[in-house]
Chain A
Amino acid sequence: MRRLAALSVANLKSFVRDRAALFWTLAFPVVFVILFGTIFSGSGAQYNLAWVDQDGSQTSTQLRDAFAGNAPVDLTDATLEEAKAKMQSGDVDGILVIPRGLQAVIDGVGAGQHPDPIDVTVITDPSRSNTALAIQQIATGLVMAANLRLSGAAPLLTVLSEQLQTNQLNAVSFFVPSILAMALMQLGVFASIPLVQQREKLILKRLNATPLPRWAFVGSNVAVRLVIAAVQTALILGIGVVVLGVQLQGNPLLIGGFVLLGALTFTSIGYVIASFARTEEAANGITSVVQFPLMFLSGIFFPLEVLPPYLKTVATFMPLTYLGDALRQTMVGGAPFVPLSVDFAVLGGWLLVTLAISARFFRWQ
């Protein structure tokens, strides 16, 4: 055990001191998460609206706060003229006008009267029909929510605002477990490259000339991969939760279990690559050839349902499909592609088969 610990520490030091490797392993997934997170939350989900408050009352302020807090909008206060100028120059996507007399209507309702409805005006740009439609829907949602609230049907208001939020987060929520699955896959298959390097540089042979048992060598390499996997997981999830507002749910043990299983399975695939690659160049080549189909044919970046049938068939053979599925199910309550027990069985099966292959074919020199 002491040998295992000493070698693990040495491997970890080597890894941390190799700045390039450190960057690619830790910074890359982080950059990826932030980049994609920004793209997803920026793609039509966030609108700049001018907020023209002609009432200037307590109710209109409350309405503004509720709207800004619950809808995917950035509000800019302006007069109607200013707002139109901003829209002309493209600074805002649309205008909401809260008319004078809103407070009076509310007060009237409170006093048991039945005042005439009052118009909230939405100004949109018909040349940008998607945006216009979305803003109209958002504004309608706002007005309906306000109506329901004022008539005392508070629960319905909650449902409506949560729908807005879920729609916005879905892409990111889908994405964060996928990035994690991808990072674990890459970490694992890239384990092949240092192994082949160490064999080429006769380091494996040199170690073999000491009483160090082989299990300790393999064990320390796997241990280091797992430590890195844990750091990656923490980073990716941390950014997902803190920066992108993903809400994690589910059993942390179950999540951790699948992260561990995924890291082990793909590391084992890395050992299979190292078993057949004789040179570092070959290892690089094979790793890319393994990595890219896994990445793009595994339904980690697109829901499997939207893939054409033949790609979906391909995806059902990819181990990464099941890791992504399991992580989505356990972390953000994603809709299951298969039950968790099947994810577990498929990943476990890949692990056992690849272990058997590398045990049979791995060469030390």
Chain B
Amino acid sequence: MLGRARVDAVIEVDDVRKAYGDVKAVDGVSFQVAKGEIFGLLGPNGAGKTTTMEMIEGLHAPDSGELRVLGMDVRRFASQIKSRIGVQLQTAALYPQLTVTELLDLFASFFGRRPATERLLQDLELTEKRNARTKTLSGGQQQRLSVALALVNDPEVVFLDEPTTGLDPAARQGLWGVIRRMQGEGRTILMTTHYMEEAEALCDRLAIMDHGRILDSGTVDELIGRRFRERGVRFGRAGAPEEEKLKALPAVSRVVYEADEVVLYTGDVSATIAALLELTSRARTEPANLMIRRASLEDVFLELTGRALRD
């Protein structure tokens, strides 16, 4: 409820709903983003992430619910809010015939600002391409340009919609650096993604969405810790000790046989492994491909929705 809003909440979303015909695109979503936070909306395509974000940006009106940005009601103060936020959409191909510099200057003019073009070009590694028509840019460069456009007005809040989709791993890492730098400059960031590792690497907190609802939210550790206290100790099945002996090892709750591997679920990794090694050394063998695996966001998502994110 808004009454319980944190004092420093920059984005407040309270029970927001939006339907297109019979499809409930957003079905009662609530969350808050604190100043200086990177908050992620994680979910598959069609989960309602983009619609939620665009309602906060003032591009769609919600059917019901309350939306506040920087303490202002989104519907009543749309234009004031727009001048203090930066928006990156899932499109970069704006005005293909203009050059990078011209496009940055044009967007700055919408905000009535003198553009900090040089700095943006430098920060987003576009200096070499400054006089290139935007249609000639590569996918990664276009993506960086659309992020640069989101920063022309030196915004307090930045909205990034799947900013690294379609980028190669190097370009993705580069953009992550840019996003962290934005945070370092004191900006608040709301982003959507369907990459687990991106959410894990960047987001202070995140909300997992599916079918227009938030299934759970919190820090990555909270999300994992809430349902996976145990770690998995896994090793090759060939030559492994028999099941009875494994079940008897300290802290082991379950033993699961997979195709080629055995997985021991344990609440105390060191105790379990020490005992396991003792067991195998007595048999003059050692566990093959021994691995400790903690649960990931992927497991959380699987647990929450019953399916893997990347189908």
Contacts and interface: CB of A to CB of B under 8 A. Distances in A.
Contact of B82 (A10, A205, A210): A210
A18 B102 CA distance: 16
B25 to A, nearest CB: 14
B97 A209 contact: no
B94 A7 contact: no
Interface string A204-220: 01111111100000000
Given A205-B59, A209-B59, A13 B89 contact: no
Interface in A1-19: 2-3, 6-7, 10, 13-14, 17-18
Residue with the greatest number of chain B CB neighbours at <10 A, chosen from A202, A210, A211, A365: A210
B240 interface: no
Interface in A34-54: none
Contacts of A208: 59
Given A3-B112, A210-B111, A14 B89 contact: no
A10 to B, nearest CB: 5
B82 A7 contact: no
B102 A209 contact: no
Contacts of B95: 10, 14, 203
A202 B91 CA distance: 7
A211 B91 contact: no
A326 B94 CA distance: 39
B79 interface: yes
A6 B89 contact: no
A6 B94 contact: no
B90 interface: yes
Contacts of A202: 89-91
Given A18-B97, A212-B110, A206 B91 contact: yes
A211 B111 contact: yes
B19 interface: no
A291 B237 CA distance: 75
A249 B103 CA distance: 44
A206 B87 CA distance: 8
A14 B98 contact: yes
B89 A209 contact: yes
B102 A10 contact: yes
B66 interface: no
Contacts of B97: 13-14, 17-18
A210 B110 contact: yes
B59 A6 contact: no
Contacts of A201: 91, 93-94
B12 interface: no
Nearest to B84: A211
Interface in A181-230: 201-203, 205-212
A365 B87 CA distance: 16
A203 B109 contact: no
18 contacts: A6-B105, A7-B106, A10-B106, A13-B97, A13-B98, A17-B97, A18-B97, A201-B93, A203-B91, A207-B110, A208-B59, A209-B57, A210-B82, A210-B87, A210-B110, A211-B83, A211-B110, A212-B110
Interface of A: 2-3, 6-7, 10, 13-14, 17-18, 201-203, 205-212, 365
Interface of B: 57-59, 79, 82-83, 87, 89-91, 93-98, 102-103, 105-107, 109-112, 133, 149, 153
Given A14-B95, A18-B97, A211-B83, 12 more contacts: A3-B112, A6-B105, A6-B109, A10-B95, A201-B93, A202-B89, A202-B91, A206-B87, A209-B57, A210-B87, A210-B110, A211-B82
